[in-house]
Structure formats: C-alpha cells, structure tokens
Amino acid sequence: MATLKVPTHVPAPSEDAEQLRKAFEGWGTNEQMIIDILAHRNAAQRNLIRKTYGQTYGEDFLTSLDKELSSDFERAVLLFTLDPAERDAYLANEATKRFPSSNWVIMEIACTRSSHELFNVRKAYHARYKKSLEEDVAHHATGDYRKLLVPLVSAFRYEGDEVNMTLAKSEAKILHDKISHKHYSDEEVIRIVTTRSKAQLNATLNHYNTAFGNAINKDLKADPKDEFLKLLRATIKCLTVPEKYFEKVLRQAINRLGTDEWALTRVVTTRAEVDMVRIKEEYQKRNSVTLEKAVAGDTSGDYERMLLALIGCGDV
Amino acid sequence: MAHPAEVEVLNKALSGIGVDEKSIISILGKSHHEHQRSIRKGCSKFFFEDERQFERWDDTAIKNLKLEFKRFKDAVVYSLMHPWERDARLLKKALKKGPQQYYVIVEIACTRSSDQLLGARKAYHSLYDRSIEEDLAAHVKASERKLLVALVSAYRYEGPKVKEDTAKSEAKALLNAIKNADKRKPIEDEEVITILTTRSKPHLREVYEQYKKISGNTITQDLEAEMFLRETIECLCTPHTYFTKVLDKALREDAHEDDKRALTRLVATQEAGNFKGITDKFGQRIEERVKGAYKDVLLGVLARGEINGKA
C-alpha cells in the first residue's frame, strides 16, 4: 500500500503550476512549497502539473528544477516528478552508465515491477534514449551478469495465479541439483528464474524448502564473497518478497557511514505509491525503530522533509 | 459413361493446393452409378483396383485431400482472428511440432513490429496461461534455445537512428564469429546473439551493409550452414526476399505440406509492406497451382496487402 498522502480537494493543475513557478522566483527557492505540492500528488496529477507548467511557461518543469536546485533534494524531486515508467527508464539508463554495482538497480527494476509496468519502462526507454533497454543492458553487463540481466529485463512474465505443481516439483529439483554442484549461472537456473511467472516461482521455491530442508537463499549463501551469488539471491528476493528486499536496501543505505542517498532516494521515490506501507512495517520489525525516525536521524534539510513527506509523515 | 475430359477435370480439381469446389460439384451433380464407376477407373491418382475387384480410394490420397480441404477453413479462421491471437497460436503450434517447425518461430519473431510481437506475447498469456518465453525455454533443448528465447523477448527500438561506428564494429564481430565457426558455433556465440536480438532493424540493416564491405559476401551467404541465423538475418534485414522465397517454395510442384502451409500463414499475416509486387511475381503461378475458394482468399488478401501497402 502507498504512503503517499493526497489531499481530498486537489487544486487545479494550473494553480499548482503557478505556485511551483512562484517557488522558483526571487532569491533562492521555496523548497517547502515544492514539497507541499509535489509530495502530495499522485502520478497522474503530477503528469498533469508537469504538462500544464510546460504549456504555461514554455519550459519543462524539470529544466526549471535543474536550474534552481542541486544535490539530493533536487534528485528526489526530479525522480518523484517523473512518470513511473520514465523514472525507471531514467534509473536504468543511469545504471548502464555507471559501475558494475549498478547491476542491482537494473535487477531491482526488472524484478519488482509488474510485467505490464516493465513493458512501459521499455517503451519509455525507446522514447527517451532512442535505443532499446536490452541493448544497453547487454552492452553494459558482461559474462554471467549479462546472462542474467538481459533476460530479466526482456521478460514478459505470465501474471496469473495458474500454477503447475508437477512443474514446481521438477524445477525445484533442477535448482537443487545445480546449486549443490555450485553451477549458479547454469542455463537451467537462469531459465527458471528469468522466465517463470512469480506465482510459479513461489510454488517452486516453497517446494524447494519443503523437499530439501533449506530455503533456496540459504543454500545460495555457500560462498559469501561471490558477487554474482549476492545478485542472484537478491533477484529471487525481489521476485518473491520485494518488501523484504527493499527493507534491506533501506537499512544498508541508512546505516552506512554517511548515507547512501542514491539508494535511499531511489527506494522512497519508487515505492511511495506502491508498497511503502509494507516496507515500513518490515523496517520497524527488523530494526525496532520506525523508518521515519531513521530517515530523520540520518538526513537533514529539504531532502529530509521531502523523504518524510513521501513516506507519509505529517499532515497533508 | 464418364467423358475422359470430365476425368481430367476431376483430376485437376483435386490436385494442387486447395480444391476446385465448383468443378467437383458440376461433375458430381450429374453422377450416377456407371458414371461414378468410370470416374473411379479413370482417376488412377486416387483410386486403384483392389484384389477383391472394386475400385477403392488410396488412403494417402484421402489424407492429402483432408489437408487440401482444410486449407480454406484455416484461411477463414486465421483471417478473422485478431493478429495477436493468430501469432500466438502459430507460435504454439510451431513449438509443439518440434525442431522442424522452429523456423516459423524465427519468422514471426523477426517479421512483426515490436508492438505486434508484444501483442502476440499478451495473447499467449491469455490462451495458454504461460509466457511464450517460458514455454520456449523449457522445450527447446538444443543450441537454438538462446537465440529463439531472445528473439521472442525482444522489444526493438523502432526509430531510424543508426550509429555507423557501432554497426561497423558489430559487422566485424559477426565476421569473426563466422570465421571461428569451427571453434564455436556462431549460434551459441553471446556476441552474435546479443547483436541479432537486441539491435533495431534499421541498425541491423546497416550492419548487413557494413558486413558486405568487409567480407565481399553478404552475411546470409557466409551463414550458408547456419539455418536459424541465416533466416533470422533474412527476416530482419530483407523480409521481402524471405517472403518471396517462402511463396516460391510453397508453389512448387514438389512442395511439402509444411511449405504449402506457409501460404495460409502468409494469408494470415497480411504484412502490407512485404507483399509489394508479389502479385505480379506470383499471380500466374497462383492461378495455376491454387484452386477454388482457397485461391480466392489468397488472391484477395494479396490484393488488399498491395492496396494497404500503397496507402
């Protein structure tokens, strides 16, 4: 469930656009105004505002933003203003230009969006970057990472609840065989993880646990230093229990010496309208402190206020 | 007694692709016992004298006739179908039939637009409660698996933008892979698969041109031994040539049932651009080889394809 709080009576997009324009005028910027408006509108409303702003002032709102703001706050506003498909395309493209650790971002997007959403990301990617997402991912990733990531972003998984129990049993066995022989990037492992529906995968992994005594991710911890294994475990987590995955990302982002703002911003802006409520529950369960408190303790200023607004703090 | 000419008409009506319903009806209409008997004696293609002294149908002939009559029904069913459902059903059928028919999967994956292919994938979910890629990945065992799964999963950029430098280096990479075919099969080469399954069609056409420059041959010539790769490139870069080949094969005297089925598949496809000038090229042969209602459907679709192409 979403943590985004939208007022019952939402002003017309032209009013919002006007207020945002005012926020940029004069000395400095009225960041609180930006938070008050944008952090309390849903995706469709934000799209309208952006369109209206562009038509009224002849400039894309995001360009104005770039001119006036900098750093973490700007990034949070930028990401949140983008339409979700565009946002994911932006993040994915950014990830293909950065170092290998950004493989995680690509995997996260591919696995935690619905088939339909992932396809919209691919469409948005065409429009924005004049290339296909899969060609950039293929170009950026190498070896086993490419073997895993390209099919992940290309998948159009069946989204229904139909599950074949016989298949679940046989594929659990295949996974167990390959894993016990340490063939982690075996074609069969990749095939099952990158093509089966989430419902089918769940059934397979449940059966794995029942039949072999350990959850698959426990068996995949055999080599703690193996980076590919880490990614594979995270992939499975994203496909089956995404809110637990996101809790971990947030926990690691906040606990690090300093804060990994990019990860924090990414998770908050991409999940505020999706499942942030469940992620907050997981966070509190795991860390004995609310996410709000943790974020407030580790961030400051407008950046902090924006994040808190998105995770549902305070009044509308 | 049956006129020898009537026997000839019947022979003709039941040979070729589809059946000439009108001629058959006109002959049957005047039939009485003696008439039918002399027809059976005259049509040695379909009947033979049994050791118990009666003229019986040859079983193979009946089997073939079943296929020929079925063609019109298939053409009708496919023509009325939503294009997405059509492609989904064709993909499923090809997968079920096995390696002999995998080339149909390549054909569909490579000749549809990005959005049409997505539509086929959606329809596949509806019809079979599974994704096409999971079925393909689970059932295709051999070296073609990687290529086929990646081909149906592609969502190619459709704009005209092409990077000449990238095209040049990718043409080189393909040439290298082909040269090293004895060390590793090109169809299992990661680079080859990535290039063919992720790049846009305009980009691949540029790669095709660049390849000609550095090799002297076209890439399809150099890939003589690799059927799936050759077909992939043909469908992506020169679809008109590909469809011309398919039609030519289907209309030959010695055409296999699989080749003839391609005609119905083309009827279902109606890719306007790919049918430019085909009626001119094949109109005559279609008149000769194809019969009856099936012929009318085929010609009608081709004509519409031409009109749509010009539109």
pLDDT in tens, A29-65: 788 888 999 999 999 999 999 999 999 999 898 888 8
pLDDT at B174 over 50: yes
Q: Give chain B's mean pLDDT.
A: 87
Q: What's the whole-number mean pLDDT along residues B8-18?
A: 84
Nearest to B153 among A130, A146, A151 (CB): A151
d(CA B210, CA B164): 9
B126 touches chain A (CB under 8 A): no
Question: Which two three-digit tokens encode residue B286?
Answer: 């279609």
B199 vs A contacts (CB less than 8 Å): 132, 135
Q: Which residues 190-249 of chain A have a CB within 8 Å of chain B?
A: 191, 195-197
pLDDT for B310: 46
pLDDT for B233: 95
ipTM: 0.81
Q: Give chain A's mean pLDDT.
A: 91
* DSSP helix/strand/coil, B110: helix
d(CA B90, CA A94): 38
Q: What's the whole-number mean pLDDT along residues A214-227?
A: 89
pLDDT for A259: 67
For residues A27 and A297, which has the higher predicted lDDT (pLDDT)?
A: A297
d(CA B183, CA B193): 17
Identify the band that residue B123 occupies on the pLDDT scale cut at 50, 70 and 90: very high
pLDDT for B308: 55
Identify the band that residue A244 occupies on the pLDDT scale cut at 50, 70 and 90: very high
pTM of the model: 0.85
pLDDT for B275: 62
pLDDT at A280 over 60: yes
d(CA B296, CA A297): 77
pLDDT for A316: 46
pLDDT for A203: 96
Q: A154 and B130 in contact by Cβ < 8 A?
A: no
Identify the band that residue A249 occupies on the pLDDT scale cut at 50, 70 and 90: very high
pLDDT at B183 over 50: yes
Identify the band that residue A208 occupies on the pLDDT scale cut at 50, 70 and 90: very high
pLDDT digits (tens, 9 = 90+) for B261-302: 888 887 767 554 456 677 778 888 888 888 889 988 888 877
CA distance A185 to chain B (A): 14
pLDDT digits (tens, 9 = 90+) for A134-189: 999 999 998 999 999 999 999 999 999 989 999 999 999 999 999 999 999 999 99
pLDDT at B2 over 80: no
d(CA B80, CA B75): 9
User: What angle do the packed helices A43-57 and A71-81 form, to 10 degrees?
Assistant: 100
Identify the band that residue B1 occupies on the pLDDT scale cut at 50, 70 and 90: low
Nearest to A130 among B118, B159, B199 (CB): B159
pLDDT digits (tens, 9 = 90+) for A52-111: 999 999 989 888 887 777 688 889 999 999 999 999 999 999 999 876 668 999 999 999
Q: What is the DSSP letter of B272?
A: G
CA distance B76 to chain A (A): 29
Q: Which residues 183-222 of chain B have a CB within 8 Å of chain A?
A: 190, 194, 197-200
Nearest to A134 among B121, B122, B154 (CB): B154
A286 touches chain B (CB under 8 A): no
Question: Lowest-confidence range among A23-27, A44-48, A76-80, B73-77?
Answer: A23-27
pLDDT digits (tens, 9 = 90+) for B184-207: 889 889 999 999 999 999 999 999
A131 touches chain B (CB under 8 A): yes
pLDDT for B274: 56
pLDDT for A174: 96
B145 vs A contacts (CB less than 8 Å): 187
pLDDT for B142: 77
Please report, in angstroms and rounded to a whole number, the separation of the first and last CA atoms in chain A. Answer: 17
SS3 letters across chain A: CCCCCCCCCCCCHHHHHHHHHHHHCCCCCCHHHHHHHHCCCCHHHHHHHHHHHHHHHCCCHHHHHHHHCCHHHHHHHHHHHCCHHHHHHHHHHHHHHCCHHHHHHHHHHHHHCCHHHHHHHHHHHHHHHCCCHHHHHHHHCCHHHHHHHHHHHHCCCCCCCCCCHHHHHHHHHHHHHHHHCCCCCCHHHHHHHHHCCHHHHHHHHHHHHHHHCCCHHHHCCCCCCCHHHHHHHHHHHHHHCHHHHHHHHHHHHHHCCCCCHHHHHHHHHHHCCCCHHHHHHHHHHHHCCCHHHHHHHHCCHHHHHHHHHHCCCCCC
pLDDT at B309 over 60: no
Q: A134 and B155 in contact by Cβ < 8 A?
A: yes
